[in-house]
Structure 1
């Protein structure tokens, strides 16, 4: 006898395939709702983050600009007072403070137009000594005519900057040798040496040594009116790059600058060291104005306090200022 009992789906007039289709449709709708909800949450988070960034962002550009302007003003002021106010350490410090105060007045008034507050002042000074020879016709001997001599030395001497020589090409011997003019800059970090001569093509050239080992050989880029400049801080010879020079004035403590065979070259030179004249051994130098190699008090470097205020920013820093 045939089975006449109907299955549930058949009694209700539905097939099993129809039930599965409905289940898939319901599942798809549930996933769609979930994705929409996630998208709304993500968009809300992005919007909130952007809004928070716009509301709390601080424009620090004016403060950065002011710090740069203050550093430039400090460098220019140190150079100026070292030339014009070098009668004593007290005169130098007074001139530096007065000049920075005047600059601060002008700069703060300028910034006040935009509603910002700015202030700069001198908080520390490293007193030093400037050593110089201005007579372009003189060789690199000391004031008494000695060819091998100590320019400056002291156990506490630890900084040399602005070392530049303007050399008269006609005073140089031909060919490299141990007895051509050279500078020795020695300290606890070792000894750097710079030899000056003309090469086989009769062009000016230098060689740089570190503790007796040759590091570089640098020809002069150009000679103007018979002279060329050995510029240690700018790492150049006659305008041509010489990267090895960058390490010559990177000294430790107990530093000494010595000239050797100063009778084998001539011209002018200048440098600044980080100890005042009273603390240095300066046997080969005399007072300024004699035409001989001389020294004057100088400011080696200074620290400036800088503050910049806006409704959203209160910035304060201490910056070091040292001419190259």
Structure 2
């Protein structure tokens, strides 16, 4: 009869069973660890997404408040200058900022925010407002001079714009523009040599803007079609002709010069219209020179403190407001 009784334990088989159990346990541990890692990673990504959305919303809100304040102060400064006042008194601006602060406070209070905007007289920079609107003949000055200083002894310009009758512009070519076309000349210590901006009509009656250096033949920068009886607006500091971009029309050396310069007009009888600008004298507080009567005390810029607070956001900044400054 066969022997079916169990014999003593086989040590080799036990060792193999132990190793199998260890492999199973190790596999379970690794699986649990991977699941935990995936859960933690998903939680981190979700939390970061929420935080990012909160930051973007806060940034957008702060940007909106800042834009409202800057736009309001800029309009106030320019409206003050257009009054062509007799003195550099700046209470119009400081009082206006206080009134704007009250209006913004009421508006944002309805949205659960607290706004405060303030400045003082020491933070309002003296400037000069220039306009040729009173000139008697074309863009020639009060004495009918066709070459004269629009302004001299300045180191900043903003809102420099020409509104010119397209019909009255000289018709010429780049090679003849220096002697025939109306042009703006920038010169002085801030520049190594003069820069010129010419405005004229070409053979197809387009209004053309071209740049020159040192009185040499200019290079065309931009042009637009202009109908009869229309005015063409060249915003030099914004580098635009009407709605068309005109890059390079403002001299690169004059974005933030460390020295003084002058703006002059040449062939002023080759254009009919007006020129306006706000400038900052150099040295500060001095009176810039001009060969025409259209100058009046003005505000060049204003620096304001802005604070905005909600339940979830605290925002504070100091901003200098100089509307229409090149690349501001």
Aligned to 1:256: 262
Q: CA deviation at 1:11?
A: 5.3
CA distance 1:62–1:137, shift in 2 (3 Å): same
Q: CA deviation at 1:175?
A: 1.3
Q: CA deviation at 1:144?
A: 1.3
SS, match of residue 225 in structure 1: coil
Q: 1:234 aligns with which of 232, 235, 238?
A: 238
Q: How many residues align?
A: 302
Aligned to 1:281: 289
Structure 2 distance, partners of 1:21, 1:149, is: 106
SS, match of residue 93 in structure 2: helix
- Structure 2 unmatched ranges of 5 or more: 1-6
Aligned to 2:200: 197
Structure 2 distance, partners of 1:309, 1:224, is: 53
SS, match of residue 119 in structure 2: strand
Aligned to 1:106: 103
Contact 2:161 2:276 in 1 (8 A): yes
Aligned to 1:291: none
Aligned to 1:131: 130
Q: CA deviation at 1:251?
A: 5.5
Deviation readout 1:212-234 (Å, 9 max, x if unpaired): 47453422243462421112133
- Structure 1 unmatched ranges of 5 or more: 1-9, 287-293
Q: Let me know the Cα RMSD of the aligned residues.
A: 3.2
Q: CA deviation at 1:140?
A: 1.8
Contact 1:85 1:95 in 2 (8 A): no
TM-score (norm 1): 0.80
SS, match of residue 279 in structure 1: coil
Q: Which has the larger radius of gyration?
A: 1
Q: CA deviation at 1:40?
A: 2.8
TM-score (norm 2): 0.79
SS, match of residue 258 in structure 1: strand
CA distance 1:218–1:24, shift in 2 (3 Å): same
My pick for the range that moved more, 136-145 or 93-102, is 136-145
Q: CA deviation at 1:38?
A: 5.3
Q: 2:32 aligns with which of 36, 51, 54?
A: 36
CA distance 1:44–1:240, shift in 2 (3 Å): closer
Q: CA deviation at 1:280?
A: 0.9
Aligned to 1:7: none
My pick for the range that moved more, 230-239 or 256-265, is 230-239
